[in-house]
Amino acid sequence: MMLRSLLRALSHPRVFFFCCIWLIVLLTVGTIAQRDLGLYLAQEKYFSSWFLFVGFLPLPGGRLTMLLTFINLALFHTKKTLWRPKKIGVLITHFGALLLLVGGFLTAYFSSEGTMVINEGETVSFVSSDEVKELVLADQNHPDYDEITAIPEALLKVGSTLTHPNIPGSFEVLEYYRNCRPVPRKNQDSGPYRGLAERFELERIPEAQERQQNRAGIVLKVSGIDEQNDGIYALYERSPMLQTLSDGQRTVALVLRRERTYLPFSLELLDFQQNLHPGTGMAKSYRSIVNLHQGETSRRVVIQMNEPLRLAGRTFFQASFFKGNNTETTVLQVVKNYGRMFPYISSIIMCIGLLIHLVIKVPGLIAKKKSESNA
């Protein structure tokens, strides 16, 4: 009985109406907040969240609002009274809106963005995530390859204990920071401290507006190896100090870094070219001339502004570059988005639905108008 009432309530047109108004409010507030928070923090707080807290008051976030809209629209299609020829335009339009939300969910959960940084003459076969980190144990003892054990950020929750055949002993996550800095150690109560943690501790700092500027950090308690290696370790992104761990049989390097996704092909930067507007120092265009190595074949590809490389479900955009004394480096933005076609397809479907509804309704409206004016 309760379930029936709940479903009836969720299918009411008022749900759609209030969800749309709330989405407009979120969009307005989130857009203004972006000025101070930056694009990604504002997106996380207002649009990608389930709940938004104003003080202690929880309000629906963008994700929850869109889920309710999806359920409402989907329940709409289950109403038998709507499945009539005269309502076909309405059904198609609502289906288009539903498809738009499906595309949104696919983008939210299955898309990824990252960067490929390639020096001239270098070949790179992985994309580094812009947002997600990983803790990696790199066994570099083999002559031909490195064996990488990657622990995703989602498993690095404070209080969790990590075990795996490739992890020496066990790791307990004591602290995890999305942005931090190393400061001289003051607290010597716990311990023993190893490596960087002997002289430094990590201090949480506010997240940067540009997420690439964040420096994640983690403090781990390692147990179960031996007296020399058990202890508390601190790692942070881009640390110049390499942390190693040994269990007597092998030594592994511990690194906290942006999550890498290895591709079934590699890109070798042959040349980076920058064209300036004549007589100015302003860039007109950049382009990367790369060798695409795919299996046994290689081919020359040019990636430049407005002409990305599309391959294997990913799009490689020319994003940025930097110049050193002796070398140039290209930065490619790599986007994988399964939902990228949904806005186009759903917009076309909604237009078709509206047109059909118009064609069905207009003759009747004209006839009604005529009879009213005759009366």
Partner 1 sequence: MLGIPKFRLLPAILGIGLVGCGNPEITVYQVPKAPQPPAQAAAAPQPAQAAPSAGILWKVPPGWIEKPASGMRLASFEMPTADGKGDCSIITLAGDGGGTLNNLNRWRSQLGLDPIPPSELDSAMSTRTGGFGDYSFFRIVNPEVDEKAFLVSIIHTDRGALFVKLTASRRSIDSLTEPFQALSDSIHIPDE
Site residues for partner 1 per CB under 8 A:
1, 3-4, 7, 10, 63, 67, 70-71, 74-75, 77-78, 102, 105, 109, 119-123, 142-152, 154-155, 162, 164, 166, 181-183, 196, 199-200, 213, 215, 236, 238-242, 262, 324-327
CA dihedral 199, 201, 207, 212 (to 10 degrees): 40
Is 285 or 336 the residue whose CB approaches partner 1 more closely? 336
Q: Return the number of the residue (74 or 289) whose C-beta is nearest partner 1.
A: 74
Between CA 356 and CA 359 the distance in angstroms is: 5
Instruction: Name the β-bridge partners of 37.
Output: none
The CB-of-251 to partner 1 minimum distance in angstroms stands at 15
Q: How far apart are CA 114 and CA 272, in angstroms?
A: 20
CB of 326 to partner 1, least distance (A): 7
Place of tokens 């694009």: 39
Nearest to 114 by CA among 330, 320, 360, 336: 336
Cβ proximity to partner 1, 78 vs 294, nearer residue = 78
Cβ atoms of 101 and 70 closer than 8 Å: yes
Query: How many Å apart are CA 47 and CA 67, to the nearest integer?
Result: 12
Least distance to partner 1, CB of residue 19, Å: 13
Indicate the residue among 29 and 122 with the shorter CB distance to partner 1. 122
What is residue 181's DSSP assignment? E
State which residue, 135 or 308, has the beta carbon closest to partner 1: 135
Cβ neighbours of residue 74 closer than 8 Å, sequence gap 6 or more: 98
Tokens 């379930």 found at: 3
Residue among 151 and 218 whose Cβ is closer to partner 1: 151
In the complex, least distance from residue 278 CB atom to partner 1, rounded to whole angstroms: 29
Buried b (16+ CB within 10 A) or exposed e, 32-69: eebeebbebbbbbbbbebeebeeeeeeebbbbbbbbbb
The amino acid present at 276, given as its one-letter code, is: L
Q: How far is the CB of 360 from partner 1 (least distance, A)?
A: 26
CB of 366 to partner 1, least distance (A): 37
Query: How far is the CA of 369 from the CAs of 221, 355, 363, 364, 373, in angstroms?
Result: 79, 21, 10, 9, 6
Smallest gap from Cβ 213 to partner 1, in A, equals 6
CA-CA-CA-CA torsion sign (283, 285, 290, 292): positive
Q: Rounded to the nearest whole angstrom, what is the least distance from the CB of residue 362 to partner 1 in the complex?
A: 32
In the complex with partner 1, which residue's Cβ is closer, 146 or 307? Answer: 146
Going by C-alpha positions, the residue among 247, 267, 227 that lies closest to residue 149 is 247
Q: Name the minimum Å distance from CB 47 to partner 1.
A: 15
* Nearer Cβ to partner 1 (26/124): 124
